Amino acid sequence: LLQHNDDTEDVSLFDAEEETTNRPRKSKIRHPVASFFHLFFRVSAIVVYLLCELLSSSFITCMVTIILLLSCDFWAVKNVTGRLMVGLRWWNHIDEDGKSHWVFESRKESSQENKTVSEAESRIFWLGLIACPVLWVIFAFSALFSFRVKWLAVVIMGVVLQGANLYGYIRCKVGSRKNLTSMATSYFGKQFLRQNTGDDQIS
């Protein structure tokens, strides 16, 4: 495993995944339970939010139900489904000095990964991880512009909890903040050079 922190080093924290079989990478779902719960909690929270007024006349009941579903989703995605479905994990620990450290881990690109990661599971994971926070952002703007103030706390919690998982797994996938910065700099540098080269050819 490759651990992204202030100092990059090789670690072996996915002990359970070392017992994977030697079957080649396929499109079939190898962790159906994890794949189900990866989508179940977050989709259920969205469905309850959209149908709340039809399901119950009590705002408190709907709010508590949505918050419970969002909390279960946050825990499941952060601690279980990311590790099983795509070989990624992020977490936080506090050292002896009381300083907080964020750790972003990803399995090394190797032949072993091809044996443990399913393409179908990867698509399910990233689709659910990206689409649902986008929907909560839309709900937040909708609640704001329609003056549904009482729902703002709920939708903001949805944005924060699911957005945190999205950010954490993007950091795991892409690398540390330094890597993100260097990628952005490289991209804009290439675009600038390409534009200048095109202008020179035209002139």
Domain ranges of the chain: 32-182
pLDDT score, position 113: 46
Secondary structure element (H or E) that encloses residue 91, with its range: strand 88-94
**pLDDT category of residue 12 using cuts at 50, 70 and 90:** very low
- Kindly report the number of other CB atoms within 10 A of residue 190's CB atom: 10
Tens of pLDDT along 53-94? Answer: 888 888 899 999 999 999 999 999 999 999 889 888 888 878
Distance (Å) of CA 20 to CA 25, 122, 152, 179, 203: 12, 17, 44, 30, 59
pLDDT score, position 26: 52
Tens of pLDDT along 137-176? Answer: 999 999 999 888 889 999 999 999 999 999 999 988 887 4
Distance (Å) of CA 133 to CA 19, 36, 154, 203: 33, 18, 13, 46
H-only helix segments in 16-175: 32-50, 52-55, 59-76, 82-85, 111-116, 119-145, 149-174
- For residues 183 and 128, what is the distance between their CA atoms, to the nearest angstrom? 25
